[in-house]
Structure 1
Amino acid sequence: MTSSVTGSSRPVADEPRSAARSARRLRVFSAERAPARIYITYAVLWVLALQSTLALLAPEADWRLGGSLLAEIATVYLALLFIRVVDEQKDLEYDRVHNPGRPLPRGAIDVRELRIAMALIVVAELALTGWRSPLLVGWLLLVLGYVCFLVLLERWSATVRDRIFVNLLVSYPVQAMLSVHVWLSFREATGTGPGADAVVGALLCAAVFMHFEFARKTGARVLPGATLYSNAVGLRGSIALTVGCALAGVGLALAVVQPWEQDGPALLAGWLPLTALGFLWVGGERFASLRTPTWPPGPAMGYLAWLYLSLFAAALTVLRPEFGG
């Protein structure tokens, strides 16, 4: 009888240790593959920039820096983390060959723990969106479901898996759908935000993100087997896409802010998005001088962060009376 009791109690005693171990492993995984300083910063800037754009396009909206905005930032951050967790599992076979030092192939975490993390993220997302709107819940579940569907799609289709532009065509909608979620959150919080505004905001965010996407996968020479856009369209074509998206992002930001219609501090703040082209110049100069084998990701990320931040600063300056203290 004693041995029976002792035997049955051992799993109970082991459970907390196992849970604590998994929690530690998940923290290590997140720190390595989804650093908070990068993912949270991106989520903050993305939501602030997109909602700033919507507020500038609908100045009658009572847009406030309050709880709904903070909840949306957290929602987007967790969605990005969910995407990272799914991608880590999707790329396992490739990483075992090409990136064996990453957490999953080296055994620092396992698939079961990552799937537990996915479930916990979904629960947290439901809590963050449920109190705001059933529509936000439904749309977010659609986004997360599509992320999981992409895993199956890549397994089914070699074309989707191996052709970089086809893969971009089916994977970028995740970013676009999250932009729609930010717009829906804005609309729920303010009662405004027509569809045309959402299109402008989504196009702006698409141009900015695509600059980073094309930049980081533009190589100075053809590298067989590498996932580079320059392998598919040539160096000049890839550079044209990189530069073109950066110019489009700045152009759309200026069209939204319209600094030529402002005066005083709003005039100066309104031209801030233009200064993001300095990062384009730095990245292009480094790449042209062959100091880096691919377009340097630092300036490309700097362009994204600075343009989003300057757009938010411009909106605050232009719309200051609209915030009502």
Structure 2
Amino acid sequence: TAETDAYSKMSLETEKMKESRPELFDFHGVPMIHYFTDNWENIQNFEARPDDILIATYPKAGTTWVSYILDLLYFSQTFADRQASIPIYNRVPFLEFEVPGIGSGKDLADHLPTTPRLIKTHYPVQFVPKSFWEQNCRVVYVARNAKDNMVSYYHFDKMNMIQPEAGEWSSFFQRFMDGKMGFGSWYDHVNGWWKKKQTYSNIHYMYFEDLAEDTGREIDKLCSFLGISPSADVKDKVVSGVQFDNMKKNKMANYSTIPVMDFKISPFMRKGKVGDWKNHFTVAQNQVFDEDYRKKMKDPTLQFRNEI
């Protein structure tokens, strides 16, 4: 059948990926891998609609968490069956994703049947297709403290075949500080989006740590930004559905159905904790990191918490 053919083609692509991890290269001044730049022209010409909602994050900063929150807020009542049958990565397409045999995020986004369309990106702010700004789309940006973000990215690179090899922790640690990561430097990313917020009022800038500390409170702020008022019942369902342990068990949310990730190495949803960096950073690494951080994070209005 066509489905079997598609599946064997996908398995073949996955095997190829396991053999050769992609390399980073300089793309318009940002380290990237080809899977997120191959469809560049088409993505730049993407036609956003005024009611689209763009979810933007640096990789491993809470993207799936916020995608799932938004999906439940908007569609848990009307499309209950979709929660049980369509993986989150098809409900909230990854715009720049272009992997042979697996799919194109742009095509998925173009054909989304829902209104609003929820679309995610890891692009630094300067790469976002201009139609999102022209249509004055709402953007939800999620930022996570650099130390936890680094640890999460490290485990992700170990298990994700379409990412460069993670290598040893000590060399990964250095690469992260140097910004030699897919989608560029964490510092450039969080600062670039923070600056954009000063001139473009339709950005809601959220912090992973706040969401972990009080999910309900942050969902209220998000609803207020989006101009929606879910019933108490819907809100309770969302808060419970997006608890880390519930999402980790949920096949439609935990990415276990995507063939490019090796769950034997690490689950896609690992801990979801604030402060896990303490289990990875040595005392010396922490000192080096803090010193480097002070030099790079000049804007006193952008503040992160490394623990809660």
Shorter-chain TM-score above 0.5:
no
Q: Which of the pair is proportionally richer in helix? A: 1
TM-score between both structures, scaled by the size of structure 1: 0.30
Q: Which of the pair is proportionally richer in strand? A: 2
Does 1 or 2 have the higher relative contact order (CA < 8 Å, sep 6+)? 2
